[in-house]
Structure 1
């Protein structure tokens, strides 16, 4: 008798362990700040701001999220300094168990732009499928499905432009996921972009991963390779390091200063231009990120 199958990850989360290891907690592009609070009636507020290291421009967003756990409804409203309003409504397990509806709309206060994306997600043991309808782009219908059994994963995605009456994008993926490691191979961008990723939890304190991307249509460098690692120094701090085949070395350090207060620092070094200064400034980047949560 086979064991019950877990719900596989969604299409966008295939290779997530490796992607998070190589992309999250690296803050190179200026300074950023997040402040999070939660009220007694389950309204979560988040204020975030970022200063770009090149233009020195400051951008920010104010977000409020209300969660009604009893009825499986989440309502999110956000407003950015670019005068963009975003509204999201999520409802889960209403018509059937594992079924979720999501409406995400955004509108520029100046009327210069608008988006509306309707999403349906259905999750069951061994199956994770989603369907999207982008109302103002096309409209375009996109569907993806991931099936899993005994750790093996198989997924596919396709987009159909309703107005033009043709498939505009398709992709496929295979992988294997276990508690200690994961391997994913994806054919993206109409199978013109091949991405292979690997993640390994070496020990409770050390993680390692790698990702290679091969672009059939690239006119310069067809293969991009990146490897990285993460090590926990203690319960409150960890360091990360990564390097790619272009010689860019990334370093990150995150420290929990106290409960609810976290600081992260990042440094990107171009190892091929250690003493070089570009016309717009140094060839290297540095940044910081602070989170206050209550």
Structure 2
């Protein structure tokens, strides 16, 4: 008798280890601050702000989240400095085990713009599927599914415009997950854009990853390639480095200053424009991020 299969990652998380390694914890574009708090009544608040180094525009948002874990209910409300109100209601493991339903809405009062998306997620042993219905855009129905067995993964995604009665987008992917490494190959944008990603935990202190993208429109018939690594200096700090085939080097440093307080620093250097008279941009970028989690 075969052992039960683990729940595979969702469609959006195929290749997540490599994407996180290459994209997260690189605060290049200015200064940002994030503060998280939790009240005794199980209501959490998050305040986030960012000052863009190129435009000097300051943006931010205030988020409040209430969770009733006993009944699987979560309500999230967000108000941004762009005067956009977002609301999300989630209900998990109540109608059926492994099923989550959610409704996400947004409203921009000044512009009169609004969105509403119904979503569902269902996951079981060896199976993970999601579906969304965008009520105002189209309406558009989007569904994806991932099957997994013994580490092998197969997934597909499709979007259907209800009004026009046609499939507007489709994609597929294959991958393999192992305890120390993972690989994934995607065929996106109606099988016109292809990506391949690789991630490996070399040992307890070192991680490495790479991603290649073939897009006939943006890569001029060639392939864009990016490789990176993450090295833990100790339990409280790590450094990250990456480079792409355009000669842009990215460096990141994260330091836990104390429990709940984290500082991150990022630097991007265009090696083909080292003589740029401007030390920070447009060819080179630098940024910092502070996180306070109470």
Q: One fold, TM greater than 0.5? A: yes
State how far apart, in whole Å, the 2-side matches of 1:112 and 1:202 are. 51
**Is the counterpart of residue 18 in structure 1 residue 18 in structure 2?**
yes
State how far apart, in whole Å, the 1-side matches of 2:38 and 2:281 are. 41
**Is the counterpart of residue 95 in structure 1 residue 95 in structure 2?**
yes
**Is the counterpart of residue 74 in structure 1 residue 99 in structure 2?**
no
Please, which moves more after superposition, 234-243 or 215-224?
Answer: 215-224
**Is the counterpart of residue 229 in structure 1 residue 238 in structure 2?**
no
**Is the counterpart of residue 37 in structure 1 residue 37 in structure 2?**
yes
SS in 1 for 2:22: helix
Q: CA deviation at 1:111?
A: 3.7
Q: Using a 3 Å threshold, how does the CA distance of structure 1 residues 219 and 13 change in structure 2: closer, same or farther?
A: closer
Q: Deviations over 1:240-261 (max 9, x none)?
A: 0000000000000000001111
Give the TM-score normalised by the residue count of structure 2: 0.98
SS in 1 for 2:183: strand
State how far apart, in whole Å, the 1-side matches of 2:18 and 2:72 are. 31
Aligned length: 294
Q: CA deviation at 1:219?
A: 6.5
Cα pair 1:277 1:283 within 8 Å, conserved? no
State how far apart, in whole Å, the 2-side matches of 1:142 and 1:202 are. 37
Q: Using a 3 Å threshold, how does the CA distance of structure 1 residues 283 and 73 change in structure 2: closer, same or farther?
A: same
Structure 1: runs of 5+ lacking an equivalent = none
Q: Using a 3 Å threshold, how does the CA distance of structure 1 residues 95 and 22 change in structure 2: closer, same or farther?
A: same
Q: Deviations over 1:8-66 (max 9, x none)?
A: 00000000000000000000000000000000111010000000111101000000000
**Is the counterpart of residue 187 in structure 1 residue 181 in structure 2?**
no
Q: In the alignment, which residue of structure 2 is the partner of 1:49?
A: 49
Q: CA deviation at 1:282?
A: 4.5
Q: In the alignment, which residue of structure 2 is the partner of 1:5?
A: 5
Root-mean-square deviation over aligned CA pairs: 1.4
Q: In the alignment, which residue of structure 1 is the partner of 2:112?
A: 112
Q: CA deviation at 1:205?
A: 0.7
Q: Deviations over 1:93-132 (max 9, x none)?
A: 1111001101110000214321111101100000000111
Q: In the alignment, which residue of structure 2 is the partner of 1:156?
A: 156
State how far apart, in whole Å, the 2-side matches of 1:99 and 1:50 are. 35
Q: In the alignment, which residue of structure 2 is the partner of 1:177?
A: 177
Residues 129-278 of structure 1 correspond to what in structure 2 (within 5 A)? Answer: 129-218=129-218, 220=220, 222-277=222-277
Q: Deviations over 1:182-239 (max 9, x none)?
A: 0000000001000000000000110000000001344635311000000000000000
SS in 2 for 1:272: helix
Cα pair 1:192 1:217 within 8 Å, conserved? no
State how far apart, in whole Å, the 1-side matches of 2:96 and 2:281 are. 56
State how far apart, in whole Å, the 2-side matches of 1:148 and 1:197 are. 18
SS in 1 for 2:71: coil
State how far apart, in whole Å, the 2-side matches of 1:223 and 1:56 are. 34
